Amino acid sequence: MLLLLVMKALFICNQNKHRSKTAEEYFKKKFVTRSAGLHNQEPVQEKDLSWADVVFVMEEEQRQELAERFPKQYLQKRILSLEIPDVYQYQQPELIQLLRRRMEEHKPLL
């Protein structure tokens, strides 16, 4: 029997409008994806972090905020920062190029 394992990737940014939503859509063929925000109407929750195999934040400050909000899950998860500033719009081509490049840089860690 062949067992296919697919990584569950959670993408997080501040509002979950542009960066993390774009990443969720773009990488859904490679991973099982979800996205969440830290400062929106329905912010990321403990269950979201528990679901994910790997968490991608867009900025280092977001990683720090996750550590403060969810210390237990933070220590149990691989959380990688893509270092993408909040200057892009949803599905903006430059954002997609940068997401691809940053994900390629993290490939050895996945």
Number of separate domains in the chain: 1
Domain containing 84: what range?
A: 8-109
- Our CA angle for 52, 57, 63, nearest 5°, is 95
CATH number for 59: 3.40.50.2300
- Our CA angle for 51, 60, 108, nearest 5°, is 65
Residue 73 lies in a domain: yes
Residue 46 lies in a domain: yes
Residue 1 lies in a domain: no
How far apart are alpha carbons 94 and 24 in whole angstroms? 16
Residue 3 lies in a domain: no
Instruction: Indicate if the alpha-carbon torsion angle 65, 53, 47, 31 is positive or negative.
Output: positive
* 3-49 tens-digit pLDDT: 556 899 999 999 999 999 999 999 999 999 999 999 999 999 999 99
pTM: 0.94
Residue 20 lies in a domain: yes
Give the tokens for residue 102: 């940053």
* 55-66 tens-digit pLDDT: 999 999 999 999
How far apart are alpha carbons 8 and 34 in whole angstroms? 8
Q: Which of 19, 22, 37 is nearest to 87 (CA)?
A: 19
How far apart are alpha carbons 54 and 92 in whole angstroms? 24
